[in-house]
């Protein structure tokens, strides 16, 4: 009986551990979706996310001294699955050299979000911030993966915003930070964009003050038109869409514009998090004064024609700490990272930060 009791007790302990922390990395296939159950997660506002679950994926192996971990959170609406294509030998982050942690940011529909929360569904889901995303990721790294340090944090767009926040909130936790097309502070132009998109969604007659009776179409179509206008640049759109083909271009966009109520709530809450981004404001200092907290070696990557995330605060931040800036010169705008390869520069900086200098990368091929 004692032996049976010991076996049962052991099984209970294992079950509790799995519920608290999710499947251990060693048990999951490389790159497989995993979840960490973090219980009640308190936001910076004081509100609490109930039954908080964080999605993540792991690729590569942790070295003996645990010094090769790289954390990469998702962009607006992105999933950790979307990041898999950038990881592996010869890619942006070489998983034969680094232990790569791809993280699903709060509100992306994989981690706890308005679309999947049973207790706080849709617009009952509390507002959260970019800092809240970082705090949840820090819990994942320390409490679940038992890391005391990261080699690098990196990300693009909203992932780049999280990278700036990581650099300030946990300055001694990583050696290297690489924000790509991110920002430490949303400008009035950024806020105008996100406000316009949220307004477009909420003007949909189906929205019903956050309690839609069915999928949204008209509001989503308008939001996507605004998004498309800002995602690249005037030069890109004119080159890609001939005037005589405009009606078919816009017609196709409207025909495919449709989103369920939960997913719409995800979009709104993540956009609100971006709008609230103001690292200097959090600390009550100027942007330049914020940089005195930075201890990591930072590489800032911006797009000169980015109409979605204003590059000026990121460039100012880099200048204040003397960090190299890689400027992408392309009409692709916020999509410049898909038009110009930065993989070799990122790989070089991860391996030897002092070897990378400020430079401008021009688009070589037409897109």
Q: Which residue has the higher pLDDT, 27 or 297?
A: 297
- pLDDT above 90 covers a percentage of the chain that reads 88
Q: Is the pLDDT of residue 357 over 70?
A: yes
Q: What are the tens digits of pLDDT across the range 226-285?
A: 999 999 999 999 999 999 999 999 999 999 899 988 899 999 999 999 999 999 999 999
Q: Which domains are present in the chain?
A: 27-186+279-362 (3.40.50.1820), 190-274 (no CATH)
Q: Quick one: 364 exposed, middle or buried, by C-beta within 10 A (0-12, 13-18, 19+)?
A: exposed
For the cut 80, the answer to whether the pLDDT of residue 27 exceeds it is: no
pLDDT at 323 over 60: yes
Query: What b/e sequence results for 268-294 when a residue is b if at least 16 CB atoms lie within 10 Å of its CB, and e otherwise?
Result: bbbbbbbbbbbbbebeeeebeebbebb
Give the DSSP H/E element, type plus range, for residue 149.
none
pLDDT digits (tens, 9 = 90+) for 150-182: 999 999 999 999 999 999 999 999 999 999 999
CB count within 10 Å of CB 139 equals 17
The model's confidence at residue 348, banded by pLDDT at 50, 70 and 90, is very high
Residues 79-136: pLDDT tens digits? Answer: 999 999 999 998 999 999 999 999 999 999 999 999 999 999 999 999 999 999 999 9
**Alpha carbons 365 and 158: distance in angstroms, whole number:** 27
Residue whose token pair is 């406000």: 195
pLDDT of residue 12: 33
Q: What percent of the chain has pLDDT over 70?
A: 92
Judged by DSSP in three states, 169 sits in helix
Helix 261-275 and helix 130-139, axial crossing angle in degrees, nearest 10: 100
Q: Report pTM.
A: 0.91
The closest of 274, 277, 346, 361 to 317, measured between CA atoms, is 277
Radius of gyration of the chain (CA): 21
Give the pLDDT score at 340: 96
| Average pLDDT for 212-228 | 93
Beta bridge partners of 176: 152, 297
Confidence (pLDDT) at 167: 98
């Amino acid at each position: 009986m004692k032996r049976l009791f010991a076996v049962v007790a052991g099984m209970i302990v294992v079950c509790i551990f799995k519920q608290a922390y999710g499947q251990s990395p060693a048990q999951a296939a490389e790159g497989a979706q995993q979840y960490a159950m973090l219980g009640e997660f308190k936001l910076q506002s004081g509100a609490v996310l109930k039954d908080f679950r964080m999605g993540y994926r792991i690729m590569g192996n942790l070295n003996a001294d645990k010094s090769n971990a790289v954390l990469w959170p998702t962009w607006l609406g992105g999933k950790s699955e979307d990041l898999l294509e950038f990881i592996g030998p010869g890619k942006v982050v070489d998983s034969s050299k680094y232990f790569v942690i791809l993280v699903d940011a709060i509100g992306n529909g994989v981690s706890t979000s308005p679309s999947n929360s049973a207790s706080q569904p849709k617009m009952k889901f509390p507002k959260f911030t970019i800092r809240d995303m970082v705090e949840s990721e820090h819990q994942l790294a320390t409490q679940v993966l038992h890391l005391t340090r990261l080699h690098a944090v990196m990300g693009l767009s909203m992932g780049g915003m999280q990278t700036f926040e990581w650099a300030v909130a946990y300055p001694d936790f990583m050696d290297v930070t690489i924000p790509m097309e991110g920002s430490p502070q949303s400008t009035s132009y950024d806020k105008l964009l996100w406000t316009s998109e949220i307004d477009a969604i909420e003007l949909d007659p189906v929205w019903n003050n956050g309690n839609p009776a069915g999928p949204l179409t008209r509001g989503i179509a308008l939001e996507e038109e605004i998004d498309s206008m800002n995602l690249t640049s005037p030069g890109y759109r004119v080159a890609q869409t001939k005037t005589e083909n405009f009606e078919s271009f816009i017609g196709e966009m409207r025909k495919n514009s449709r989103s369920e109520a939960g997913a719409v709530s995800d979009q709104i809450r993540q956009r609100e998090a971006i709008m609230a981004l103001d690292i200097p404001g959090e600390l009550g200092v100027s942007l330049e004064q914020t940089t005195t907290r930075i201890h990591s070696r930072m590489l800032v990557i911006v797009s000169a024609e980015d109409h979605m995330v204003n590059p000026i605060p990121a460039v100012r931040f880099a200048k204040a700490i003397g960090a190299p800036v890689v400027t992408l010169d392309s009409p692709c705008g916020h999509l410049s990272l898909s038009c110009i390869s930065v993989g070799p520069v990122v790989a070089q900086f991860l391996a030897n930060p002092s070897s990378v200098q400020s430079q401008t990368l021009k688009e070589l091929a037409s897109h």
